[in-house]
Amino acid sequence: MKKQIFLAVTILFIISLILSCKPASKEVQLISRNLLFGNPDKASLQISPDGKYISFLAPVNNVLNVWVAPADAPEKAEPVTKDTLRGIRIHFWAFTNQHVIYLQDLAGDENWQVHVVNIATKEDKNMTPFEEIPGPDGKPVTLPSGKPLRPRAQIQEVSHKFADEILVGLNKRNPQFNDLYRLNILTGDLKLIQQNDGFLGFQTDDDYNIRFAARMTPDGGLALFKPDGKGGWQPFDTIPMEDMMTTSPITFDKTGTVLYMIDSRGRNTAALISVDLKTDEKKLIFEDPRADVRGIMMHPTEKTVEAVSVEYLRTEWTVLDESVKSDLEYLKTITDGEINVTDRTLDDKFWAVAYMVDDGPVRYYFYDRASKQARFMFTNRKDLEAVKLSKMHPVVIKSRDGLDLVSYLTLPCWKDPDNDGRPDKPLPMVLYVHGGPWGRDSWGLNSTHQWLANRGYAVLSVNFRGSTGLGKDFINAGNLEWAGKMHDDLIDAVNWAIGAGIADKNKVAIMGGSYGGYATLVGMTFTPDVFACGVDIVGPSNLRTLLETIPPYWKPQFELFASRVGDPRTEEGRKFLDSRSPLTYVDRISKPLLIGQGANDPRVKQTESDQIVKAMQEKNIPVTYVLYSDEGHGFARPENRLSFYAVSELFLAQHLGGRAEPVGDDFKGSTIQAPRGAEQIPGLSESLKK
């Protein structure tokens, strides 16, 4: 009897072991870099205000352009723009219903110019074709390279009440400040309506009235002013430094007498409030203790708030107006994914809707509210529909001092067949750090995550302190903590991944762009034993030189940097910034490093990469440096993106042991150069010669 019991227990134990084991899963095929980083097939669906036309971005000879089609015959779409260089990334409809407006810069310099295209004639007019800014001596203001600094245009307001006109900001008089102009998009007439001699920016309304102006205070806060009716300004409100990044005016109601704001004063997370400008009465509309109000759905003409969103782990919408409740409930039944209403007609009869998932392309629909019918239009990357992609797992990691770090983990799908966010055994991992740092990582389809996971790596992105959207306390915990507690958070996340059996502690890379590039350099110098290698994309190497060379139009907000990064105007501040700069500790670099830089970057100048490469050379520390002559803060041209990711893939495979797709034709059409260290990556020198 005992033997029978023992045998039964043994059999049950074996069965339980079998059932607990994850099923075997074969490696999936390599996904072409072009599928992930090349141009989308179609993207950014927009609707003309009268609902007769749609527009979207799609390639023409591998360059993104604006296409237009009748809304009821999308198959008749034709390109209406003729960009042949960088591609168009920002476009929208004018209220004429006959014109599309887009912005374009030159080789990544971010000095945007406003273009208006007639969809019938396809005539493209540059409305802000200015090439120079006069200095005090009358001579053009020049860049360190000696080239003239081009003026930078920005869209201030577009109103249905003035179909032929828009408001634009232009710094063509003074490079630091945007004057406001009324621009006639038919004639090109540009009329100055507000000279700016010291304000960070202005708040305008649908009637093109200037309602508020903002100026930073010496402690990093924000002072708001309103016109005094005599050509001057009088105080309206003050936003303390700790609330400055989570409190701001948004827009007005239909009457113009109620101001909508996001406001964190007296609370942690930013709430949506209304302010009666006649009585100063404030009303709370919506708040969430987990995260800041992120998105607002508002009627195009009635200006009523219909729904709001917050993003903690994922984006969540809350309906506030019953008039759209049935619409949003219906849209949830159409397909999987997070819903985003990207555009609406002026009469609100038709919506453009996008659905975001983490393991497939974005799906776009044209929604007819009257018939409750959503018509499928296209996905942004059709070839991804048939590709096996990985799930993205939201995880909350505790920092060493108790903060909740909202993070996102992606694993190779064949290493996690049951999608529980845990591989069979520890994997080589890439810590992929977001830029800003005043931005955040989010759930959804992430091309970099999918690329790295497909190559066999675990990928972890962390909303470290200083990231936005998670309340002012979380942002302010990052003040003066560059390379300090902000970096501690990243290390804590790596240790969590190692402890959870996700990451192989000897095969962890750090990679990122902008602040993420800086974090990479910090990882290589402050914690050199943690990472096996690093990939820095347009990251600053010296915080002092970074802040001393910011673009002139950032100077009105300099107190933001001084209070949150460090103040280069004082000796104490300069010493502090040097102590948090990777360049100061370049001799600590002991692991392989790849650096990518755009020559025309206005934010993180090429000198930031040049100086750390030079310092490494002087100390005989190997480094690979990749430079693009026609790029700025990141790589906009798909040819350049593909070439850089091809280099990065070879680099990571060499040092982490993951899979790699051959370079193939991915250098074709790119301006890639490798001033230093091409020989450090097998095959790079040969590919550059082709």
Which residues participate in catalysis according to the annotation? Answer: 514, 601, 633
Return phi, psi of residue 77, to 5°. -60, 140
- Output the six-digit token pair for 326: 């049935």
**Angle value at C-alpha 319, between 317 and 323, nearest 5 degrees:** 140
Element housing 104 (H / E): strand 99-104
SS3 126: strand
Note every long-range contact of 147-152, with CB atoms under 8 Å and residues 24 or more positions apart, other chains counting: 149/111, 149/175, 149/552, 150/106, 150/109, 150/111, 151/111, 151/175, 152/110, 152/111, 152/112, 152/178, 152/553
Q: How far apart are CA 258 and CA 276, in angstroms?
A: 5
Block residue for tokens 């004429």? 96
Buried-state track 410-435, b at ≥16 Cβ within 10 A, e below 16? bbbbbbbeeeebbbeebbbbbbbbbb
Neighbours of 266 (CB within 10 A): 7
The residues pairing with 143 across neighbouring beta strands, listed in sequence order, are: none
Tell me phi and psi for residue 614, to 5 degrees.
-60, -45
Return the beta strands (E) in 105-257 as ranges: 113-118, 124-126, 153-158, 165-174, 177-184, 190-194, 201-204, 210-216, 222-227, 233-239, 248-252
Q: How many angstroms separate the CA atoms of 273 and 232, rounded?
A: 28
- Provide the strand spans (E) within 277-349: 282-286, 293-298, 305-311, 315-319, 338-344
Give yes or no for a contact between 366 and 28, defined as CB atoms under 8 angstroms apart.
no
Residue 254 DSSP code:
T
Residues whose CB is less than 8 angstroms from the CB of residue 143 and which lie 6 or more positions away in sequence, other chains included: 149
512 close to 449: Cβ distance less than 8 angstroms: no
Structure token pair of residue 153: 């245009």
Structure tokens at 546: 């970074």
H helix count then E strand count, the chain: 13, 36
The Cα 241–Cα 442 span in angstroms is 26
CA angle, corner 394, sides to 497 and 650, nearest 5? Answer: 55
Contact 321, 348 (CB under 8 A): no
Residues 381, 467: contact at Cβ < 8 Å? no
Instruction: Please name every residue paired with 370 in a beta bridge, in sequence order, or none if there are none.
Output: none
Amino acid at 579: S
Please check whether residue 579 is in contact with residue 561, taking contact to mean a CB–CB distance below 8 angstroms. no
146/412 Cα distance (integer angstroms): 48
Instruction: Decide the pairing of beta strands 593-598 and 533-537.
Output: parallel
Q: Which residues pair with 238 in a beta bridge?
A: 223
Helix runs in 198-344, H state only: 325-331
- Rounded CA-CA distance 396/605 in Å is 35
Dihedral of the CA atoms 357, 361, 362, 364 (nearest 10)?
Answer: -130
